[in-house]
Amino acid sequence: MEDAVEQLIEETAVPETRPQLHGLAPGLRGRVAIVTGGSRGIGRAVATELAAAGIHIGFTFLDDGGASRVEAQEVARRLREMEVRVVAEPCDVREPGDVRAFVSRVLEELGGLHIVVNNAGIGLDRALWHMSDHEWEAVVRTNLDGAFHVLRATTPHLRAQEWGKIVNIASVHGARPEFGLSNYAASKAGLIGFTRAAAVELGPRNINVNAVAPGYIRTHSLTERVPAEILDRARDRSALGRLGDPADVANVVLFLCSEAARHITGAVIPVDGGYL
């Protein structure tokens, strides 16, 4: 009897198949993505990874001088070398009118919109009892209000086509703040809450909304702003014993934008080397 059962199991068993992550790109080719803050750091890595998958890119950058424009032009040139169309424009995400104008141009020049990555963000660190109104407002308005302005401008189009992928770049500090980060931690915690609320509202229209929460990632702004001893401590606290690279975040964003992640929404995925 036992032999007969084992034979039946063998005959009816379905071989296990594993998802092939390298197969993400073909399903995304020809899509259009907006990446805010796409000229440097994590944003540049995300724009590059999406372009490598054949996705046309519209990215914003903050025009704070000639160097920022040159930097953005260089990123746009590199993306076009990947044979995708590119719209690169200065845009202050704190200003709703600027955001609406940028989204309109992307829709007109790139012919649609399917993916939105809210990456634009700043940090102005200071103990809360010394923090100025400007330092609080600038961080919260950029990191949280900016994401709201972008989604308010883009979701009508995504809802109408009943397909879309939204990824917000949050931070581990939205869950585990450190000294001097009250404005930044508040903005990123708010962004996590906003991500989950948007997932509930947009899910019925087949729109996935998720967040990635990077830990300490090697970018120019991080190494310029954060003292070396803090980075050493972060490295020591990490389970993997290292800081991350922008590409580590970009790879997860690409996954969340793919149909391999079609049943994931309202999630916050840490990319922190085990820091939390």
pLDDT for residue 7 is more than 60? no
Task: Write out the catalytic residue numbers.
Answer: 184
1-to-5, 7, 8, 13, 14 alpha-carbon distances in Å? 6, 10, 11, 18, 22
**CATH 3.90.1150.60 correct for 28-215+252-270:** no
What is the rounded distance in angstroms from the CA atom of residue 186 to the CA atom of residue 193?
11
H/E segment holding residue 208:
strand 207-214
pLDDT given at position 232: 86
pLDDT for residue 26 is more than 80? no
Where residue 15 falls among pLDDT bands split at 50, 70, 90? very low
Q: DSSP state, 14?
A: P
pLDDT for residue 16 is more than 70? no
Report the residue count for the chain: 276
pLDDT tens, residue by residue, 37-81: 999 999 999 999 999 999 999 999 998 888 899 999 999 999 999
